[in-house]
Amino acid sequence: MKAQSSAIEPRTITPPGGLALGALGVLAFSLSLPATRLAVHELDPWFVAFGRAVGAAGLAAAYLWLTRAPRPTPRQWRRLSVAALGVVVGFPLFTSLALTTQTSAHGAVVITVLPAMTAVFAVLRAGERPPRAFWLAAVTGLLSVLAFVAATGATSGALSPADLFLLAAVVLCGLGYAEGGALSRELGGARTICWALLLALPATLPVTLVSATVHPPHGTAQSWTAFAYLTVVSMFLGFFAWYAGLARGGVARVGQIQLGQPVLTLLWSALLLGETVPPAALAVALLVLLCVILTQRTRTSPAQHPIQNELATARNN
């Protein structure tokens, strides 16, 4: 009976090293916005958003075949669909649309609220009951970003479409990070992003083909190099480290490493794109970073993980 019950338990991935892997993932993602800005300068944003997912899906299929990865269970497929919605479709699409008209530096400031959004989704799906200070800090950070984009996004002082796209990207990405990071405890970081890419292929491939037909892709070596980076690193290899880090060190804990991503993105934007980083952007970024730190410090102890609940139920049955 002992052997029988162990057979139904999915293997969990929990060795140490989560912070180091998370830092490697953040370094990879810090170039995503500048690379997207370079790519959409000459390539259609829909092609950039979905074409990189198609290319990464090809790499994912090769990886899964070479490693003889077992197929996910029906429950895991459902959770993979949530992760795919956030990181394979939502974030690439909305950032590509936003950066056709907005600068990478501006986008970095809006994306600063992503760590707090990731923590919020981690709290919600883990069943925690955080104190009021957590929500106060999270809302303060969000309002700071909204005030910044409202003041700088349009001459009328209203939110521009690009800002709305960026905010939608943040929400969906936070959801995809939290769900994928938790699922990586069962599948591993590499297999989680690989299966998510393949799951999204029936949606990403047709859109890519239509975009390439309507707007045949033509660009310089710079644009294609940026597109290649988005495909191989931002959409594929970066998630190997990031999801593994979230699984090993905890979504909320490792999510703190994202605090350095906006600063790195601002530096890349200035160095690679020659964009001006206004003092107001740095001030807002620092304020939001402070708010995110407070959300982490006020976070309560996590409740039992949903996976553990399911295993306990299986054992009792």
pLDDT tens digit sequence for 249-280: 777 767 767 767 777 787 788 888 887 777 77
Residue pair 247/188 in contact by the 8 Å Cβ criterion: yes
What tens digit of pLDDT does each residue of 176-227 get?
A: 998 998 899 899 999 999 999 999 999 999 999 999 999 999 989 999 999 9
Q: Rounded to an integer, what distance in angstroms lies between the CA atom of residue 248 and that of residue 246?
A: 6
Residue pair 111/33 in contact by the 8 Å Cβ criterion: yes
Q: What is the pTM of this model?
A: 0.78
Shortest CA distance to 101 belongs to which of 36, 184, 171?
Answer: 36
Torsion (CA) 53, 56, 62, 65 in degrees, nearest 10: -50
Q: Is the pLDDT of residue 148 over 90?
A: no
Q: Rounded to an integer, what distance in angstroms lies between the CA atom of residue 255 and that of residue 245?
A: 9
Q: Confidence band (pLDDT; 50, 70, 90) for 108?
A: confident
CA angle 159, 288, 137 (to 5 degrees): 105
Task: Give Cβ neighbours of residue 44 (< 8 Å, ≥ 6 apart).
Answer: 211, 214, 215, 217
